Amino acid sequence: MAAETPRDLRALFDPRSVAVVGASRDPAKWGHWLAEGALRGERRRSVYLVNRAGGEVLGRPAYRSLAELPESPELVVLAVPASAFESTVDTALGLGARALVAIAAGLGESGEEGLRIERRVADHVRAAGAVLLGPNCQGVYDGLAELDLGSENFVPGPIGLVSQSGNLALEVSLLGADVGLGISRFASLGNQADLEVADLVEALAAHDATRLIAVYCEDFRDGRAFARSARAAVDAEKPVVLLAGGASVVGRRAAHSHTGALVSDSAAIDAACRAAGILRVSSPKRLVEVAQLLLAARRPCGRRLAVVADGGGSAVVAADLAAGVGLELPRLSPELSASLDAVMPETATTTNPVDFAGAGEQDLRAYERVPRLLLESGEVDVVMLTGYIGGYGLLAEELSAAETEAARGLARAAADAGRPAVVQSMHWQEPPAVALREAGVPVFRDVEAALTATALVAGHELRARREVPSSPAPATPLNDDGGYFEARALLAAGGVVFPEARHVTGDGEAVAAAAELGYPVALKAMGLLHKSDAGGVVLGIEDEEQLSRAVAELDERLSPDGYSLERLVSAPASVELIVGCKQDPRFGPILLVGLGGVLAEVMRDTAVALAPAEAEEVEELLLGLAGASLLTGIRGRPPLDVGAAASAASAVSRVAAEHPELAELEINPLIVTPTGAIGLDARLVYSQPR
Amino acid sequence: MAAETPRDLRALFDPRSVAVVGASRDPAKWGHWLAEGALRGERRRSVYLVNRAGGEVLGRPAYRSLAELPESPELVVLAVPASAFESTVDTALGLGARALVAIAAGLGESGEEGLRIERRVADHVRAAGAVLLGPNCQGVYDGLAELDLGSENFVPGPIGLVSQSGNLALEVSLLGADVGLGISRFASLGNQADLEVADLVEALAAHDATRLIAVYCEDFRDGRAFARSARAAVDAEKPVVLLAGGASVVGRRAAHSHTGALVSDSAAIDAACRAAGILRVSSPKRLVEVAQLLLAARRPCGRRLAVVADGGGSAVVAADLAAGVGLELPRLSPELSASLDAVMPETATTTNPVDFAGAGEQDLRAYERVPRLLLESGEVDVVMLTGYIGGYGLLAEELSAAETEAARGLARAAADAGRPAVVQSMHWQEPPAVALREAGVPVFRDVEAALTATALVAGHELRARREVPSSPAPATPLNDDGGYFEARALLAAGGVVFPEARHVTGDGEAVAAAAELGYPVALKAMGLLHKSDAGGVVLGIEDEEQLSRAVAELDERLSPDGYSLERLVSAPASVELIVGCKQDPRFGPILLVGLGGVLAEVMRDTAVALAPAEAEEVEELLLGLAGASLLTGIRGRPPLDVGAAASAASAVSRVAAEHPELAELEINPLIVTPTGAIGLDARLVYSQPR
């Protein structure tokens, strides 16, 4: 579990002295690479190489043990086998080390015994007030501090990188280098015996040279702590981009409700990202693409896009792709089109997309003039220039300087207008592209990536900032049998509306209850996992005769544990929702809302949030569903009471958060009508079977 | 319209002599670039430069006119203004030219007068038995023939490229060059005054050096001819990859049915691609990615994927992404896992995804051994190696040769197993990657692209080969008022089942008809565009009294042109489909099928095919819908009669194809029950208002 108070990681990233235990002469060994890396920072700090055999390593005398060092090393890096892990850490702590980095594999990831050792060592580390990265990690890097232990030749830059994979950290750094983005700090997570992803994100948020935090993580440990530290980073204007690994792995726990099946591990991560303001991506390439946009001089703060192309095909392809990623190409006003006409040749297209049709060949300053008019118009939120820029200098050397100057002009136009320009060019590595990047304008190689990243970042910037919800005080744990009536009672107490119902056990009781409630009624057989699927629900019972017939038929066919007799809810212009919560082992209770019914289940149109969620946030979730138009009115249907549905779902999320003993809690369906929302079924599942 | 018989394009791509009219000394002019390019092929053919002013161009004497040339030029390239286009073509034809390439802009694309000139010129060209590319085009290229007129320094290779955009052709060539793929032939479409995209695809299909045809097209002209030429190319084992431009442009014609609104220009292109076996992509990058896979030594012929990674993070990310693009990671058999265990270190993961966990560092031959076992097992259709390969040589020069040899071993393993390997590596340009590509194994830079392209190609290879349907003989054109009963009658004659119905005009007729049909009945008000939305349909009328009440209420509220009184279709376990056809101006009648009802409309779960479509093909469309499980049975629902639905839709498509005078023809909804399919509404829309 992540520590409550921030850990001091200065000694980890910028130690005054470093000792490499296990420094090796063998160039294929970690102990060699670490020693090499440590020595690269020798002008900033003392570096001690420790090798049991003594002698020389990389031209330096090797100490036989930590105890022999002339001073207490602030940071100790352990390139030792698993068997020497605990004793080496203890020795280092005894000497006063403040930070440890353990490369050693074969501990927690290999089984129970390794886990026990890790827990013991972490206790020792914390007791000593030190920090430990790893074990089973790939080192640490700080560009400004010239600390390079295990890195893969990172270039310094604005990205703080936390990764549970060395391969992916390297891949991110290579992709970043292509677009001029380097690494400020890198920490390899390893087994997170002591320092967890949350601690490292927190440290990067406080690190001046880090302007964006990129995380690859498979094991989030205390997921809410991670979300809170990410939230704090985002609030401090350091965007957090997450590539979450292993999200597709099928959970082994059997789900007992539809919510349980729908809230995957990946959905829980989505809920956390939503609360924390994390931008989640699915590949290293996408990570670097959104980082480019997030680190640009200006970010897109809306979806209205003008496409400017220096070739018809590029304009058309960009326009075709834009809608698919959720960007809009507004029609330009006649005034704006006229002002574009005035600076372009007659053949140019001055609607959106704008096509140069030779304007660039005629006068390279078109690359500044046209975007400037668009950016300053206020009619669009972002201008994407797509196509060829960077190629003129290849065609004719004499165009080179003018082209780069035109690129700088484009960046100036964006700066003057205070709105972002994004560029895609097949000549993405030529001097004009480099000049654009230096001036804060991102340049992409492929247009689909440019548009997708723009849409992702625009959507992200538009989203309302939320808090990571705190857990409410736990209520008295439930201790009943968790049946239908108990679930209804619990949720009704939380504020959810249900139709009036009576628990009846036979024909006589049913008839009496129906007389009290008034016909028409609905009859539901109890004690079945999926009442409707089993044919255990009879709706629209109009009179006593029909009721008796229904009871007799269900008795015979299903032998249920009694019935719920309910006033029939008649709501022709309504929509069924599914609303539920599930306890995620890392991220706590997760609220899910979605369109209900069989068809919606096939379509899986759902959204998630960390529980408890306020009604206002749930309303946002509902209105963001693909099928939201069913709720807001479509083809003559009346708008439904989305607010009531949101309140009900919010209540479910609160109840779930107050009852951590519940693994799952669900209303399915929740009927939304033009004037309210009413639960037609309720289910709860305990974490531990009663 | 594309010509009926193949055009002979030998003189266009490999002429015995070339004349450049408008050859220029100005290095910023087309006439200069074309002359330069033409001279690059001088050792293969005579090259004549024509410039009205005479003198010298590029060190050659320039002729003042075509008439001065010492021989009749086989190919004449026109870098002349629009005003000189017609006369220059006529002169060239008079001299016996066999092929013309016209760069001139300002003709058909600029208005009616230009179009008239183009039509006239095309007639002259055809009468002379010659061919014309353009006008408003960017030239032609043939790598083997060393013909380079207007190219952008293409590198020779296997891709035949037809493009309506110079920018995009260049971008494709640059992206291709990165992965060792060059261009066999390039033709710029321009205005297609004579040669159309269909002609050029046909020519490339017959061109030995072309192994794959890549098309960027905005204007398909005779779309069915294009589809037929692509089908012929695909049947000749030359895959066709299409980037269609302008597909998102909102059609200006108002749609009168839901089908009309749902069959976008883009959907019509999809239907053509389906029939022709064309693989459609949305960006130049994707085009080159699928080309890489289609041109590899072996193509994925199934969706079962084994992921092999030389780093845990790479394995996890690839596995997470695979499901999202439609690939499956099957569990490996215990025998296969055991055989992998035997060749890998203990720390390695030998389930799917397979993680080397240092196996590569231990012995580079793991890069051959592990994929070989997987490929030879028959348990997967394709192996994707992802991560680092190519980097060992960067780490340590002495590993370089062994690493490249390991890469060749991987290619050998794929060849021996007869199954494809696909590689993603952050070191995608290093010698091992080049060796892999040379041995027919595609290497990608980013894993999402590698997986997406693999899934696209696997899906494409799995699809049943279809024919481009021919239009049936037109039936006698309809000439009625196209109302509900006429539409029903037309479709019923085609084989669609409808409930029994009577056209009635008032209460008396309604009651009499109901007595004949038997209760319950449905009453539908006629003469309304959307009966249901307007509240013009009353279902479940049980007796005469209810019927009279319904007639009175509808009379009062809607004053309809009479009613259809129908036997009520009661089918609780049924699903509503929408089935319709629309005439596309380029691709002819298009069939659309999809899930009906309001929710499905929101979800837009539809599929298209060229009409007429056989029932077997429609069944494939229906079973490919996202919501197909609603048809095949889900959660205890019975499977529905998909065959009957497919037959009904096939009938609709046949009727539409026989009646080109119909712009739209629709059944919405078509109710599919466990034992049949029945149309509950029918609509037809004439192309010309009656």
Rounded Cα distance between B142 and B185, Å, is: 4
How many C-beta neighbours within 10 Å does residue A278 have?
A: 26
**pLDDT of res. A690:** 65
pLDDT at A138 over 50: yes
Rounded Cα distance between B335 and A169, Å, is: 34
- B165 vs A316: CB contact, 8 Å cut-off? yes
Contacts of B417 (CB under 8 A, 6+ apart): B372, B375, B376
Closest CA to A670 of A492, A481, A430: A492
Locate tokens 């353990």: which residue?
A102
Among B361, B597, B627, select the one facing A603 at the smallest CB separation: B627
- B396 vs A28: CB contact, 8 Å cut-off? yes
Of the candidate ranges A15-19, A269-273, B46-50, B630-634, the one whose mean pLDDT is the lowest: B630-634
Write out the two tokens for B590: 């298009």
- B248 vs A319: CB contact, 8 Å cut-off? yes
Q: Tell me, letter by letter, the H, E, C secondary structure of B95-120.
A: HCCCEEEECCCCCHHHCHHHHHHHHH
Locate tokens 């046949």: which residue?
B654
Residue B255 pLDDT class (50, 70, 90 cuts): low
Among A106, A246, A598, select the one facing B634 at the smallest CB separation: A598
Residue A122 pLDDT class (50, 70, 90 cuts): very high
Closest CA to A274 of A300, A251, A242: A242
Average pLDDT over residues A601-614: 90
Rounded Cα distance between B515 and B519, Å, is: 7
Helix ranges (H only) for B6-70 are: 10-13, 30-40
- B626 vs A637: CB contact, 8 Å cut-off? no
Residue A573 pLDDT class (50, 70, 90 cuts): confident
Rounded Cα distance between B563 and B392, Å, is: 79
**pLDDT of res. A251:** 36
The answer to whether B11 and B132 have CB atoms below 8 angstroms apart is no
Among A216, A388, A447, select the one facing B283 at the smallest CB separation: A447
Count of residues making up chain B = 690
Query: A171 touching B, CB under 8 A?
Result: yes
Average pLDDT over residues A590-609: 86
Query: B511 touching A, CB under 8 A?
Result: no
Among A216, A314, A361, select the one facing B313 at the smallest CB separation: A216
**pLDDT of res. B265:** 84
Contacts of A383 (CB under 8 A, 6+ apart): A305, A306, A307, A308, A371, A374, A375, A414, A419, A420, A421, A422
Task: For chain A, give the mean pLDDT.
Answer: 92
Cα dihedral A377/A380/A382/A386 (nearest 10): -90
Rounded Cα distance between A187 and A101, Å, is: 10
State whether residue A538 is helix, strand or coil. strand
**pLDDT of res. B1:** 47
Residue A150 pLDDT class (50, 70, 90 cuts): confident
The answer to whether A321 and B223 have CB atoms below 8 angstroms apart is no
Q: Residues of A with CB below 8 A from B165's CB?
A: 311-314, 316
The answer to whether B616 and A655 have CB atoms below 8 angstroms apart is no
Of the candidate ranges A2-16, A345-359, B32-46, the one whose mean pLDDT is the lowest: A2-16
Range list of β-strands (E), A398-461: 421-425, 443-444
Contacts of B342 (CB under 8 A, 6+ apart): none
Residue B532 pLDDT class (50, 70, 90 cuts): low
Rounded Cα distance between A195 and A453, Å, is: 31
Which of A249, A329, A426, A456 is best to mutate for the B interface (most B CBs within 10 A)? A426
**pLDDT of res. B64:** 96
Which has more pLDDT, B598 or A686? A686
**pLDDT of res. B553:** 92
B401-459 tens-digit pLDDT: 999 999 999 999 999 999 999 999 999 999 999 999 999 999 999 999 999 999 999 99
- B313 vs A603: CB contact, 8 Å cut-off? no
The answer to whether A666 and A581 have CB atoms below 8 angstroms apart is yes
Query: A252 touching B, CB under 8 A?
Result: no
Cα dihedral A311/A316/A321/A323 (nearest 10): 130
Q: Which residues pair with B583 in a beta bridge?
A: B589
Half-sphere exposure of A179 (CA within 13 A, CB side): 30
pLDDT at B19 over 70: yes
Query: A434 touching B, CB under 8 A?
Result: no
Average pLDDT over residues B199-222: 96
Among B165, B167, B282, select the one facing A320 at the smallest CB separation: B282
A379-427 tens-digit pLDDT: 999 999 999 999 999 888 889 999 999 999 999 999 999 999 999 999 9
pLDDT at B253 over 70: no
The single-letter code of the amino acid at A357 is A
**pLDDT of res. B531:** 64
Element (H, E) at B372: helix B366-377
**Share above pLDDT 70 across residues of chain B, in percent, rounded to a whole number:** 95
Write out the two tokens for B354: 């397979």
Helix ranges (H only) for A220-303 are: 223-235, 258-262, 265-276, 284-294
CA-based R_g, chain B, Å = 31
Query: A683 touching B, CB under 8 A?
Result: no
Q: Give me the residues of B, 300-319, that contact A with CB < 8 A.
A: 309-314, 316-317, 319
Average pLDDT over residues B506-533: 86
Average pLDDT over residues B656-660: 96
How many C-beta neighbours within 10 Å does residue B639 have?
A: 12
Q: Residues of B with CB below 8 A from A105's CB?
A: 347
Average pLDDT over residues A268-295: 97
**pLDDT of res. A368:** 97
Rounded Cα distance between B642 and A284, Å, is: 43
The single-letter code of the amino acid at A33 is W
For the purposes of burial, counting CB atoms within 10 Å of the CB of A414, is it exposed (0-12), middle (13-18) or buried (19 or more)? Answer: buried
Query: B338 touching A, CB under 8 A?
Result: no
The single-letter code of the amino acid at A178 is D
pLDDT at B252 over 50: no
Average pLDDT over residues B266-277: 95
Average pLDDT over residues A37-43: 95
**Share above pLDDT 90 across residues of chain B, in percent, rounded to a whole number:** 79
Among B167, B316, B627, select the one facing A599 at the smallest CB separation: B627
What are the phi and psi torsion angles at A184 (to 5°)? -80, -50
Half-sphere exposure of A586 (CA within 13 A, CB side): 24
CA-based R_g, chain A, Å = 31
**pLDDT of res. A186:** 97
Of the candidate ranges A127-131, B5-9, B684-688, the one whose mean pLDDT is the lowest: B5-9
State whether residue A63 is helix, strand or coil. strand
Contacts of A556 (CB under 8 A, 6+ apart): none
pLDDT at A7 over 70: yes
Write out the two tokens for B669: 């909804």
- A347 vs B426: CB contact, 8 Å cut-off? no
pLDDT at A429 over 80: yes
**Share above pLDDT 70 across residues of chain A, in percent, rounded to a whole number:** 95
Q: Give me the residues of B, 580-599, that contact A with CB < 8 A.
A: 595, 597-599
The answer to whether B651 and B591 have CB atoms below 8 angstroms apart is no
Q: Which residues pair with B12 in a beta bridge?
A: none
Rounded Cα distance between A639 and A646, Å, is: 14
Write out the two tokens for B651: 């009938």
pLDDT at B3 over 60: no
The answer to whether A29 and A37 have CB atoms below 8 angstroms apart is no
Rounded Cα distance between A387 and B93, Å, is: 37
B142-155 tens-digit pLDDT: 999 999 998 678 99
Locate tokens 């720390």: which residue?
B347
Average pLDDT over residues A5-32: 91
Among A249, A388, A627, select the one facing B602 at the smallest CB separation: A627
- A595 vs B600: CB contact, 8 Å cut-off? no
Among A27, A283, A530, select the one facing B317 at the smallest CB separation: A283
Rounded Cα distance between A62 and B490, Å, is: 94
- B317 vs A388: CB contact, 8 Å cut-off? no
Q: Give me the residues of A, 186-245, that contact B with CB < 8 A.
A: 216, 218, 243, 245
Of the candidate ranges A249-253, A325-329, B399-403, B413-417, the one whose mean pLDDT is the lowest: A249-253
Write out the two tokens for A432: 């004009």
A212-229 tens-digit pLDDT: 999 999 999 999 999 999
**pLDDT of res. B202:** 97
Contacts of A553 (CB under 8 A, 6+ apart): none
